[in-house]
Amino acid sequence: MSERLRFNTAQAADFAVCHPQTIRKALEAGELHGDQRKAKGRWTVRRSCLEAWIEGAECEHQRQSEGAA
């Protein structure tokens, strides 16, 4: 499991040692960067984004989107 590059919410919760709802709330609030293929679809999270969130930092994708705004 630790070799994954992308996680669904349940896998991300296992990796981060928290509840899947915590992951979903962080994704919906924009605190954790993730992707959805369609509105209200399943979330996927890159490992690098999840690791940054666990450390309390912004991932590279969040920094890029802030710089473009």
CATH number at 6-68: 1.10.1660.10
| CB-count burial class (<10 Å; 0-12, 13-18, 19+) for 59 | buried
Q: Among 44, 26, 47, 48, which residue's Cα sits nearest to residue 35?
A: 44
State mean pLDDT over 49-55: 96
Q: What is the pLDDT of residues 59-68, one digit of tens each?
A: 887 666 666 5
Helix axes 9-16, 47-55, angle to 10 degrees: 40
């919410």: which residue's tokens?
Answer: 9
Task: Give the model's pLDDT for residue 61.
Answer: 77
pLDDT tens digit sequence for 5-51:
999 999 999 999 999 999 999 999 999 999 999 988 999 999 999 99
Amino acid identity at 29:
A
Which pLDDT does position 29 carry in this prediction? 95
Instruction: Note the helical H segments in the chain.
Output: 9-16, 20-29, 47-55, 60-68
